Amino acid sequence: MKIGLRLSLVFAASLCLLGGVIPIKANENTKIRVDKVENLSSDFIMGTDISTVIAQEQSGVEYKDENGNVKDIFDILKENGVNYIRVRVWNNPYDHNGHGYGAGNSDIEKAIEIGKRATAHGMRLLVDFHYSDFWADPGRQVPPKDWTNMNVSEKSEALYQYTKASLEKIKAAGVNVGMVQVGNETTSSGIAGEAGEERYQLFAAGAKAVREVDATILIAFHFTNPDKTETILNYAKGLSDHHIDYDVFATSYYSFWHGNLDNLTSVLKTVTEKYGKKTLVAETSYAYTLEDGDGQQNVIRTQNQMLVGGYPASIQGQSHALRDVIDAANKASALGIFYWEPAWTPVSSKGKEVNTPIWEKYGSGWASSAVIGYDPNVNQENYGGSEWDNQALFDFTGKALPSLATFKYVYTGLNTNLEYDKNEETELQESLLSNSSFEEEDLSDYTFNDFIKRRQDTPKTGKYAMNFYNGTSDYTTGVERKVTLPAGTYQFSAQIQGGDTNGSEDIYAFARAEAVNVQSEKIKLAGWSNWQIAKLSFTLTKETEVTLGVFVKANKGSWGTIDDLLLTKEGVDKIKLGTTLSSAKEKLAETMHYTKDSLANLKEQVEEAQVILQKDDATQAEIDAECEALQTAIQALVPLENQSSSNV
């Protein structure tokens, strides 16, 4: 198991309490500390990818500055130090009836509209060609519908013509294009459906088109997984060996997936020193809360992910994560960084039932139902809204978070007298199973077959996980182990991700023993890094040997990963009460904002909550009741202006 992971920052208002991360409220005007980044050039790219912004605005989203004033989002970004905008471009993100695929319906027209607004605000544009009609990433590089039956030569010519025509159209609209990406996260899956040697023909075609349109535009190739040092450096070597004409080697970096920052700096430096190329962090982000704002489950949502990421899920944690990526890139003399989708906030707080028609109409969710059948990772169960709203730099109401100002304050520093503990250690929730995340090479406690292996590809946490795949036929596989447990009630869960299924997969966690035969709800694989939890509970009346595991039955060519087998014995959960108590104490400090009587009522409830929190034999019913009473007392606070107006 992986425990004792060191947080790079734990700010006073977001300390871990009783094993849980306390999120700062999304709309709270929180004072943050930003440490200065030394030797930072004035032309360092402080970029954001806001590809969904048009769809967001069409859905009714308004953006506000930190004081709550509604403004053009480009004004807000510029005021906070943003100087570059990135926008993805999909060839034809619509079905045959013209229904958009979602995630901004990011076609060339949207790119032009965003680019014109960026240019009007003195910003440059990075055009990110995916060469697909929808998402292109390490898990899939589906060619555009119009390119489906083309061979490599035909596809190369189509890519050249499309790139050239699109770029000419953008420039003709007066957009200040500074950089173009030829492909998006073009790792093992290649580009436009072409992997292996064939990819280089397409790379060269895209680069040629950009050079012919405007030789001053920087050409970038974008990869990811910088934690796999040898692999990512081999991509740089491949570009060099094939004499590809380009300027910028770009990588994504998300700390909850991609290892430590020192390694990122080292990779970027190596590319520059060995191949003479500029470098760029094309994508990064971090969560400021683990809450969900729109009814669509978020990609990053667990305490374990935050602990692996290295920062608490708070506004301060988000700011510090962004500051540290800027620092790591600057140490490598990189061009800069882009924060991915900081404006992808909820379209409303009314939940999935209300939001779904909005997502479907305007394309403001991560995927619409229209894309089912084109993208193999989208199905009837998982399409929907934003899965990134808790990583935005705006709160759930569209108000700018203090962390947005990190872009400008890294030059000077901000509130550097505020204290924080860089050495705070917090443990991941401990599993009763040894080697539950497969970090140890000795797997003798587990049973599995030939179609599943311990590998370093896409672990949920740490460096290793169990990867399953069979490219020759449909297959059955899984992993299981036996463990003897005393009487009690237990929770068992497993993290699972994968893709390329035909919808018939049969995947679930299970627990089997004398008088016990329980399985979780079945999991449908939803694509690369779309982790899902298979979970179940069971009760033992006496000491019993139990077999725990994950069963997989899937079609030829499907693939996936199993990680983090978490077995815990049920006890009481005080985390929500601790979170609510923290919020209540902050309200008590706001003596100038609420009436004395309502604050006195809250103070009394806080004292009762503290007693319950410290009570060793408190029942779950007592804890839940106290939490509800505390929430009621917070909601019952009477603002002073209301008191005054009622006396007029």
Active site (annotated) includes residue 185: yes
Encode burial over 375-390: b for 16+ CB neighbours within 10 A, e otherwise. Answer: bbbbbeebbbbbbbbb
The backbone region for 352, taken as left when phi is positive above 0, alpha when psi lies in -120 to 50, beta otherwise, is alpha
Q: Which two tokens stand for residue 310?
A: 């290295």
Q: Which of 194, 198, 283, 387 is catalytic?
A: 283
CA distance 200 to 183: 11
- For the chain, give the number of residues: 648
- Alpha carbon of 281 to those of 65, 144, 306, 339: distances in Å? 26, 26, 20, 9
β-pairing, 544-554 vs 475-485, is antiparallel
Q: Are 311 and 321 in contact (CB under 8 A)?
A: yes
User: What does 527-569 look like in DSSP terms, one character per residue?
Assistant: EEEEEEEEEEEEEESS-EEEEEEEEEEE-TT-EEEEEEEEEEE
Exposed, middle or buried: residue 291 (CB in 10 Å: 0-12, 13-18, 19+)?
middle
Which helix (DSSP H) or strand (DSSP E) does residue 630 occupy? helix 620-635
Residue 178 backbone phi and psi in degrees, to 5: -105, -25
CA nearest neighbour of 84 among 38, 53, 119, 34: 119
Q: Tokens 């140890």 identify what position?
A: 440
Angle between helices 261-275 and 315-331 (to 10 degrees): 30
Q: Which two tokens stand for residue 370?
A: 């229209």
Positive or negative: CA dihedral 367, 369, 373, 376: positive
Active site (annotated) includes residue 212: no
Amino acid (one-letter) located at 211: R
Q: Are 61 and 349 in contact (CB under 8 A)?
A: no
CA distance 181 to 246: 10
Q: Which two tokens stand for residue 406?
A: 């990190």
CA nearest neighbour of 463 among 588, 582, 561: 561
Q: Which of 28, 66, 157, 185 is catalytic?
A: 185
Give 563's strand partners: 495
CA distance 385 to 341: 13
CA distance 422 to 414: 17
Amino acid (one-letter) located at 157: E
CA distance 48 to 367: 21
Amino acid (one-letter) located at 539: T
Q: Which two tokens stand for residue 528?
A: 């690369």
Exposed, middle or buried: residue 486 (CB in 10 Å: 0-12, 13-18, 19+)?
exposed
CA distance 22 to 61: 27
Measure the CA dihedral 65/68/70/71, to 10°: -10
| Most distant pair of Cα atoms in the chain: their distance | 80
Q: Which two tokens stand for residue 622?
A: 């007592």
Residue 495 backbone phi and psi in degrees, to 5: -95, 130
- Alpha carbon of 422 to those of 12, 255, 310: distances in Å? 11, 17, 11
For the annotated catalytic residues, the residue numbers are: 185, 283
